[in-house]
Amino acid sequence: MERWLGPWSEYSYALLRIVAGLLYLSHATQKLFGFPGGHAVVGNRLLQTAGVIELVAGFLIVLGLYTTYAAFLASGEMAAAYFTVHIWNSFWPIVNRGELAVLFCFIFLFIASRGAGPLSLDRLWR
Protein backbone atom coordinates (compact mmCIF):
# COMPACT_ATOMS: atom_id res chain seq x y z
CA MET A 1 0.00 0.00 0.00
CA GLU A 2 1.31 3.39 -0.92
CA ARG A 3 2.11 5.80 1.90
CA TRP A 4 -0.45 8.44 1.10
CA LEU A 5 0.65 10.61 4.03
CA GLY A 6 4.32 10.11 3.17
CA PRO A 7 4.81 13.61 1.78
CA TRP A 8 3.65 14.99 5.13
CA SER A 9 5.78 12.76 7.36
CA GLU A 10 8.21 15.52 8.37
CA TYR A 11 5.37 17.78 9.43
CA SER A 12 3.53 15.01 11.26
CA TYR A 13 6.78 14.32 13.14
CA ALA A 14 6.99 18.02 14.06
CA LEU A 15 3.39 17.84 15.27
CA LEU A 16 4.24 14.79 17.40
CA ARG A 17 7.18 16.70 18.93
CA ILE A 18 5.08 19.78 19.66
CA VAL A 19 2.09 17.92 21.12
CA ALA A 20 4.28 15.64 23.26
CA GLY A 21 6.16 18.70 24.50
CA LEU A 22 2.92 20.53 25.34
CA LEU A 23 1.53 17.55 27.23
CA TYR A 24 4.81 17.18 29.11
CA LEU A 25 4.76 20.91 29.85
CA SER A 26 1.25 20.61 31.28
CA HIS A 27 2.57 18.10 33.84
CA ALA A 28 5.15 20.68 34.86
CA THR A 29 2.63 23.49 35.29
CA GLN A 30 0.37 21.23 37.31
CA LYS A 31 3.22 20.22 39.64
CA LEU A 32 4.65 23.70 40.02
CA PHE A 33 1.62 25.99 39.79
CA GLY A 34 -1.45 23.78 40.23
CA PHE A 35 -2.60 24.64 36.70
CA PRO A 36 -4.59 23.21 34.95
CA GLY A 37 -6.47 21.60 37.78
CA GLY A 38 -5.08 20.02 40.87
CA HIS A 39 -2.69 21.71 43.24
CA ALA A 40 0.98 22.63 43.27
CA VAL A 41 3.37 20.20 44.93
CA VAL A 42 4.72 21.75 48.10
CA GLY A 43 7.43 20.28 50.30
CA ASN A 44 8.48 17.43 48.03
CA ARG A 45 11.86 18.38 46.55
CA LEU A 46 11.94 15.37 44.21
CA LEU A 47 8.62 16.26 42.59
CA GLN A 48 9.52 19.95 42.48
CA THR A 49 12.79 19.09 40.71
CA ALA A 50 10.86 16.89 38.29
CA GLY A 51 8.51 19.82 37.67
CA VAL A 52 11.42 22.14 36.84
CA ILE A 53 12.94 19.56 34.46
CA GLU A 54 9.54 19.10 32.80
CA LEU A 55 9.02 22.86 32.51
CA VAL A 56 12.39 23.63 30.91
CA ALA A 57 12.65 20.49 28.76
CA GLY A 58 9.00 20.69 27.69
CA PHE A 59 9.38 24.33 26.65
CA LEU A 60 12.55 23.55 24.66
CA ILE A 61 10.94 20.53 22.98
CA VAL A 62 7.89 22.57 21.93
CA LEU A 63 10.11 25.29 20.48
CA GLY A 64 12.47 22.78 18.91
CA LEU A 65 15.45 24.42 20.59
CA TYR A 66 18.35 22.23 21.80
CA THR A 67 15.85 19.49 21.16
CA THR A 68 18.12 16.45 21.27
CA TYR A 69 19.49 17.43 24.69
CA ALA A 70 16.11 18.41 26.12
CA ALA A 71 14.42 15.26 24.84
CA PHE A 72 17.22 13.04 26.17
CA LEU A 73 16.91 14.67 29.59
CA ALA A 74 13.12 14.30 29.49
CA SER A 75 13.43 10.65 28.49
CA GLY A 76 15.73 9.98 31.42
CA GLU A 77 13.45 11.79 33.81
CA MET A 78 10.50 9.67 32.69
CA ALA A 79 12.52 6.46 33.09
CA ALA A 80 13.51 7.58 36.59
CA ALA A 81 9.88 8.41 37.38
CA TYR A 82 8.80 4.95 36.30
CA PHE A 83 11.45 3.13 38.29
CA THR A 84 11.13 5.24 41.43
CA VAL A 85 7.35 5.66 41.61
CA HIS A 86 5.40 3.21 39.45
CA ILE A 87 7.36 -0.06 39.42
CA TRP A 88 6.74 -0.68 43.13
CA ASN A 89 2.99 -1.10 42.60
CA SER A 90 3.28 -3.75 39.88
CA PHE A 91 5.61 -4.80 37.08
CA TRP A 92 3.00 -4.06 34.41
CA PRO A 93 2.62 -0.40 33.36
CA ILE A 94 -1.13 -0.70 32.82
CA VAL A 95 -1.55 -1.94 36.39
CA ASN A 96 0.87 0.48 38.09
CA ARG A 97 -0.46 3.48 36.10
CA GLY A 98 2.96 4.11 34.61
CA GLU A 99 2.05 3.72 30.95
CA LEU A 100 2.24 7.48 30.38
CA ALA A 101 5.76 7.62 31.86
CA VAL A 102 6.85 4.73 29.62
CA LEU A 103 5.25 6.30 26.54
CA PHE A 104 6.83 9.72 27.23
CA CYS A 105 10.19 8.02 27.85
CA PHE A 106 10.24 6.33 24.45
CA ILE A 107 8.74 9.25 22.51
CA PHE A 108 11.40 11.55 23.92
CA LEU A 109 14.12 8.98 23.25
CA PHE A 110 12.92 8.87 19.62
CA ILE A 111 12.95 12.67 19.42
CA ALA A 112 16.43 12.77 20.95
CA SER A 113 17.70 10.35 18.32
CA ARG A 114 15.99 12.07 15.39
CA GLY A 115 16.37 15.74 16.22
CA ALA A 116 13.92 18.61 16.05
CA GLY A 117 12.75 18.27 12.46
CA PRO A 118 10.86 21.02 10.66
CA LEU A 119 9.01 23.82 12.40
CA SER A 120 11.78 24.21 14.96
CA LEU A 121 14.23 26.84 16.07
CA ASP A 122 17.03 24.29 15.66
CA ARG A 123 16.22 23.99 11.95
CA LEU A 124 15.74 27.75 11.58
CA TRP A 125 19.18 28.48 13.02
CA ARG A 126 20.94 25.76 11.02
Contact 109, 75 (CB under 8 A): yes
Name the residue with higher pLDDT: 1 or 4.
4
Domain ranges within the chain, ordered by starting residue: 11-125
Tell me the mean pLDDT in the region 61-85: 97
Kindly report the pTM of this predicted structure. Answer: 0.92
Contact 119, 63 (CB under 8 A): no
> What is the Cα–Cα distance from 89 to 19, expressed in whole angstroms?
29
How many angstroms separate the Cα of 63 from the Cα of each of 44, 73, 102, 108?
A: 29, 16, 23, 14
pLDDT at 66 over 90: yes
User: What pLDDT was estimated at residue 42?
Assistant: 87
DSSP class of residue 82 equals I
User: What pLDDT was estimated at residue 121?
Assistant: 94
